[in-house]
């Protein structure tokens, strides 16, 4: 009984964390106007907000299993998600095709697997984010 209660708590936490992350990430990515860097584990965008443009890096650190948001403008760091077992970042062009060309990136999609460990079992949750379009990004190619 105790294990099932712990498992239920793990699933509730993962669901809450995933929902919060997707809301916050989506809101910010939609406001991105520029892409400065892309890789398999990180990307840097310029985001418009109330106080002006902010350069933001999203980076996956596999050893601690964390997705970190760093404001390169102010230097502040924030752990957006932890207990990540796998993370895959996909970049898409204006036509919806996958791209690795930084000049073509119009959308980003994350596929994330979260894991929580209880006494004998691992609980996992699979998050596939919607493809977030960078509404303020102008593609000229």
CA gap 126, 115 in Å, rounded: 9
H helix runs in 1-114, sequence order: 2-30
Q: Please check whether residue 46 is in contact with residue 34, taking contact to mean a CB–CB distance below 8 angstroms.
A: yes
113 phi/psi in degrees, rounded to 5: -115, 120
Q: State pLDDT tens for residues 32-87.
A: 999 999 999 999 999 998 889 999 999 999 999 999 999 999 999 999 998 898 99
Output the pTM of the full model: 0.83
Q: State pLDDT tens for residues 11-36.
A: 667 666 777 888 889 999 999 999 99
């Amino acid at each position: 009984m105790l294990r099932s209660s712990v498992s239920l708590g793990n699933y509730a936490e993962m669901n809450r964390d995933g929902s919060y992350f997707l809301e916050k990430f989506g809101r910010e990515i939609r406001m991105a106007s520029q892409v400065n860097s892309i890789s398999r584990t990180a990307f840097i965008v310029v985001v418009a907000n109330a106080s002006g443009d902010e350069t933001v890096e999203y980076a996956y650190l596999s050893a601690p299993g964390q997705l970190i948001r760093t404001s390169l403008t102010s230097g502040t760091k924030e752990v957006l998600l932890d207990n990540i077992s796998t993370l895959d970042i996909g970049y898409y062009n204006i036509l919806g095709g996958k791209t690795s060309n930084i000049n073509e990136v119009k959308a980003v999609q994350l596929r994330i697997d979260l894991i929580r460990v209880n006494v004998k079992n691992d609980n996992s949750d699979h998050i596939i984010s919607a493809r977030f379009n960078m509404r303020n990004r102008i593609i000229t190619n």
